C-alpha cells in the first residue's frame, strides 16, 4: 500500500507523482518512502488553503493562538522522539536536535510578541475622527524549507504566517520529508482546521508547481541562493505577491588581537563546524593576522579541530559533529576542497570522507591566502573553513566584504575600537563581537544583504512579511467639515 504523506484539506493522501525516499545519512538506511505530490495535488492543496482562508483569518488572533499554543505543548510532549527523528533524517547529533525542537517551541511565544509589537493595531487621534493602522494577512502562502533545520526553519515561517491569519501550503526539503510529516501530524493533533495548513512533499517539480501557481499570494523561502534567485526571477512581474527569501552566505570571521587563544579557538570551531558546517551562518572565511601570534592561533586551531569528535547522532558519548545530510553532500565537500587545492590553496587539515557509504566527514582547514584572486565566491555548505592571512585590518575588512553575499560576520578581538571600526565597515545582516557567528536568536531579526536575502528578514521580523498594513481614517457618521475647501459651495 502506498504511504499517505501529503496533508491536504485535513486528509492524509498518497502521492500521485514519482517515488521519493528518505535515507538516514549516518546509517545508509532508507527509512521512509512515498510518492511525490503531482501538480494536480499541489493545486488541490492550494484550493483547500483558499477555501479555509476566510474562516481562519476571521477568527480572533487569540483563538488562532489557542491552537498554535497547543502545537507548542505537543512539541514539548514529543520532544525526545521528535529530536530523534530529526537526528535520524539529518545526521545531526541528538544534543543538537534537542535544541532544534526547543527553538521550535520558543518560536511560538516570540512570534506572538512580534505579531503584536510589529503588526499590532495603532490608534492615532485626528482633528476629525481617528486614524488607525491595522494589519491583514496576505492570504494563501507557500512555505519552502531547507534540510539543515527541517523543523525549526519552516516553523519560523509557518507559525507567524498562521498567527497573522494566512493559510499555508508547506513544501519541505525533499531530503527531510519524515520530519515534515511528523510536524504536520502534531499540527493535526493540535486541532488545526482542515485546509489551514497543507503539506505537499516532493522534489523540484513539486516545488515548481507550487511556486508557479497563480493562486498563491506569497512565498516564504529558506534555502540556497541558487534556488532563491530562480524564485525571484519567477516572481518578477508579480508585484502583488510577497516573496521572502532567506538564503546562503560566504561569511567572514576576522581575528585581530586576542589574549585567550583557547577562547578564540572555541568561537571559531562553533562558528565553522557546528552542524558539520551546514548552517547558513557558519564561518566560511577566517581572517587571521600574518604575525607570530596569528601563527600560534592557527596551530592551536588545527590541533583542536583535529580532535573534534565526529560520529553517529546516537553515539554515547555524543560527538560534536554528526554526518552531513547525504553521501552526495559529503562528496561535494571533498570535491570543493580538491578544486581549491588545484587552484593553489594549502590544506592545513584535510577534510576527509570518513565512510563513503555515509555523510560522515571530518572537518577541514585550508589556507587560501595565495589564491584570493582566483577563488570563487561560493558557499561551500560543509565543515571546511578557508583561512586568509592578512597584514592590515582594513584590507581584511575589504576582503571580508568582497562577496556577493552578506549574511553573518564576526570579529574576535579584545579591542573595542577594532570592533567599532569593524561594525562601521562590514556589510552583513548579523554582526557579532567575540561570540560565534552561528546560533542567532529568534528574538532578533534574521536576514542578510546581497544574495543572502531580499530585505525581508525572518525570525523576530517574520511578522512583517506575514501581514500587510492597512491605514484608515474613520468617523462614526458622515459629517460635513466645519470649513469647506475654497471654491466649494454646498
Ligand X SMILES: NC(=O)c1ccc[n+]([C@@H]2O[C@H](COP(=O)([O-])OP(=O)(O)OC[C@H]3O[C@@H](n4cnc5c(N)ncnc54)[C@H](O)[C@@H]3O)[C@@H](O)[C@H]2O)c1
303 contacts 407 by C-beta, under 8 angstroms: no
Smallest distance, Å, CB 174 to ligand X?
5
Taking CA atoms, 428 is separated from 249, 305, 450, 465, 473, in Å, by 9, 26, 8, 20, 39
Residue 449, all three cell numbers:
544583504
Residue 246: active-site member: yes
Does the protein bind ligand L2THXQ4J through residue 181 (CB under 6 A)?
Answer: no
* Interaction pattern, residues 228-267, with ligand X; x per rule: CB under 6 A: --x---------------xxx-------------------
* Options 162, 280, 336, 457; binder of ligand L2THXQ4J; rule CB under 6 A: 280
**How close are the terminal C-alpha atoms of the chain, in Å?**
77
Grid cell, residue 148, equals 539543515
Task: State whether residue 392 is helix, strand or coil.
Answer: coil
* Segment near ligand X (CB under 6 A); pick from 104-112, 224-232, 302-310, 392-400: 224-232
Binders of ligand L2THXQ4J in range 440-479 (CB under 6 A) = 440, 442, 446, 458-459
What's the min distance (Å) between Cβ of 441 and ligand L2THXQ4J?
Answer: 6
Active site residue 282: no
- The answer to whether the beta carbons of residues 91 and 179 sit under 8 Å apart is no
Please, are residues 239 and 445 in contact by the beta-carbon 8 Å criterion?
A: no
Residue 207 interaction partner, one of ligand L2THXQ4J, ligand X, none, beta carbon < 5-8 Å per kind:
ligand X
Query: Site residues for ligand X, window 146-175 (CB under 6 A)?
Result: 146-148, 153, 171-174
- 3-state SS, residue 25: coil
Q: Minimum distance between the CB of residue 390 and ligand X, rounded to whole angstroms?
A: 25
Q: If binding is defined by CB under 6 A, does position 109 make contact with ligand L2THXQ4J? A: no
Candidates 48-56, 310-318, 350-358, 435-443: pick the segment binding ligand L2THXQ4J (CB under 6 A). Answer: 435-443
User: Which of 314, 335, 334, 381 is CA-nearest to residue 24?
Assistant: 314
195 binds, among ligand X, ligand L2THXQ4J, none (CB under 5 to 8 A by kind): none
Kindly tell me which residue out of 148, 250, 256, 432 binds ligand L2THXQ4J, with binding defined by CB under 6 A. 148
With H, G, I as helix, E, B as strand and everything else as coil, classify residue 287.
strand
> Which one of ligand X, ligand L2THXQ4J, none is in contact with 376 (Cβ closer than 5 to 8 A by kind)?
none
Give the number of other CB atoms < 10 A from CB of residue 487.
5
Q: Is 241 helix (H, G, I), strand (E, B) or coil?
A: coil
Comparison of 46 and 280: residue with beta carbon closer to ligand L2THXQ4J: 280
CB of 283 to ligand L2THXQ4J, least distance (A): 11
Tell me how far apart the alpha carbons of residues 129 and 114 are, in angstroms, rounded to a whole number: 28
- How far is it, in rounded angstroms, from Cα 247 to Cα 263? 29
* Segment lying near ligand X (by CB under 6 A), choices 72-80, 111-119, 135-143, 204-212: 204-212
Give the residue carrying C-alpha cell 457618521: 477
Q: Which segment (229-237, 352-360, 388-396, 437-445) binds ligand L2THXQ4J by CB under 6 A?
A: 437-445
Torsion of CA 427, 431, 434, 438, to 10 degrees: -120
Contact string (CB under 6 A) for ligand X, positions 325-364, x = contact: ----------------------------------------
Q: Measured at the alpha carbon of residue 447, what is the angle toward residues 445 and 451, in degrees to the nearest 5?
A: 165
Which string of DSSP letters, residue by residue, matches 310-330? Answer: B--TT-SSPPSB---S-HHHH
Give the C-alpha separation, 402 to 426, whole Å: 10
Closer residue to ligand L2THXQ4J in complex, CB, 215/435: 435
Does 384 bind ligand X (CB under 6 A)? Our answer is no
Instruction: Write out the binding residues for NAD(+).
Output: 223-228
Helix ranges (DSSP H) in 164-260 = 177-190, 204-211, 225-235
Candidate list 89, 100, 246, 451, residue with the active-site label = 246
Q: Which residue from 15, 145, 382, 450 is in contact with ligand X, where contact means CB under 6 A? A: 145
Instruction: Please answer whether residues 356 and 124 qualify as being in contact, where contact means their C-beta atoms are separated by less than 8 angstroms.
Output: no
Among ligand L2THXQ4J, ligand X, none, residue 438 binds (CB under 5-8 Å by kind): ligand L2THXQ4J
**Active-site residues: which are they?**
246, 280
Amino acid at each position: 500500500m502506498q504511504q499517505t504523506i501529503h496533508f491536504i484539506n485535513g486528509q492524509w493522501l498518497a502521492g500521485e507523482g514519482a517515488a521519493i525516499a528518505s535515507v538516514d545519512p549516518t546509517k545508509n538506511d532508507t527509512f521512509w518512502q512515498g510518492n511525490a505530490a503531482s501538480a494536480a495535488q499541489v493545486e488541490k492543496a492550494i484550493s483547500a488553503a483558499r477555501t479555509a482562508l476566510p474562516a481562519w483569518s476571521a477568527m480572533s488572533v487569540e483563538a488562532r493562538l489557542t491552537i498554535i499554543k497547543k502545537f507548542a505543548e505537543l512539541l514539548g510532549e514529543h520532544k525526545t522522539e521528535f529530536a530523534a527523528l530529526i537526528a535520524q533524517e539529518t545526521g545531526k547529533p541528538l544534543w543538537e536536535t534537542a535544541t532544534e525542537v526547543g527553538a521550535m517551541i520558543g518560536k511560538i511565544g516570540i512570534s506572538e510578541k512580534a505579531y503584536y509589537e510589529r503588526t499590532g493595531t495603532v490608534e492615532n487621534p485626528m482633528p476629525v475622527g481617528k486614524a488607525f493602522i491595522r494589519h491583514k494577512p496576505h492570504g494563501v502562502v507557500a512555505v519552502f524549507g531547507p534540510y539543515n533545520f527541517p523543523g525549526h526553519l519552516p516553523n519560523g515561517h509557518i507559525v507567524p504566517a498562521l498567527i497573522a491569519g494566512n493559510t499555508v501550503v508547506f513544501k519541505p526539503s525533499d531530503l527531510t520529508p519524515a520530519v515534515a510529516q511528523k510536524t504536520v501530524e502534531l499540527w493535526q493533533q493540535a486541532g488545526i482546521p482542515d485546509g489551514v495548513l497543507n503539506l505537499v512533499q516532493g522534489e523540484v517539480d513539486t516545488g515548481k508547481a507550487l511556486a508557479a501557481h497563480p493562486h498563491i499570494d506569497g512565498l516564504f523561502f529558506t534555502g540556497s541562493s541558487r534556488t532563491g534567485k530562480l524564485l525571484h526571477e519567477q516572481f518578477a512581474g508579480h508585484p502583488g505577491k510577497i516573496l521572502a527569501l532567506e538564503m546562503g552566505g560566504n561569511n567572514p570571521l576576522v581575528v585581530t588581537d586576542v589574549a585567550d587563544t583557547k577562547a578564540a579557538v572555541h568561537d571559531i570551531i562553533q562558528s565553522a563546524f557546528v552542524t558539520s558546517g551546514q548552517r547558513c551562518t557558519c564561518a566560511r572565511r577566517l581572517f587571521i593576522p600574518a604575525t607570530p601570534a596569528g601563527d600560534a592561533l592557527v596551530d592551536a586551531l588545527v590541533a583542536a579541530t583535529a580532535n573534534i569528535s565526529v560520529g553517529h547522532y546516537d553515539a554515547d558519548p555524543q560527538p560534536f559533529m554528526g554526518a552531513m545530510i547525504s553521501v552526495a553532500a559529503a562528496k561535494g565537500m571533498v570535491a570543493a576542497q580538491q578544486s581549491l587545492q588545484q587552484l593553489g590553496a594549502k590544506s592545513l587539515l584535510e577534510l576527509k570522507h570518513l565512510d563513503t557509504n555515509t555523510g560522515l566527514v571530518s572537518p577541514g582547514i585550508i589556507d587560501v591566502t595565495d589564491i584570493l584572486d582566483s577563488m570563487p565566491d561560493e558557499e561551500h555548505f560543509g565543515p571546511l573553513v578557508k583561512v586568509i592571512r592578512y597584514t592590515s585590518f582594513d584590507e581584511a575588512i575589504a576582503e571580508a566584504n568582497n562577496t556577493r553575499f552578506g549574511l553573518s560576520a564576526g570579529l574576535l578581538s579584545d579591542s573595542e575600537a577594532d570592533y567599532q571600526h569593524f561594525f562601521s565597515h562590514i556589510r552583513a545582516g548579523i554582526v557579532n563581537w567575540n561570540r560565534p557567528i552561528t546560533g542567532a536568536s529568534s528574538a532578533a531579526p534574521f536576514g542578510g544583504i546581497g544574495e543572502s536575502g531580499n530585505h525581508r528578514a525572518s525570525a523576530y521580523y517574520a511578522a512583517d512579511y506575514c501581514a500587510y498594513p492597512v491605514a484608515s481614517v474613520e468617523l462614526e457618521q458622515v459629517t460635513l467639515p466645519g470649513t469647506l475647501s475654497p471654491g466649494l459651495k454646498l
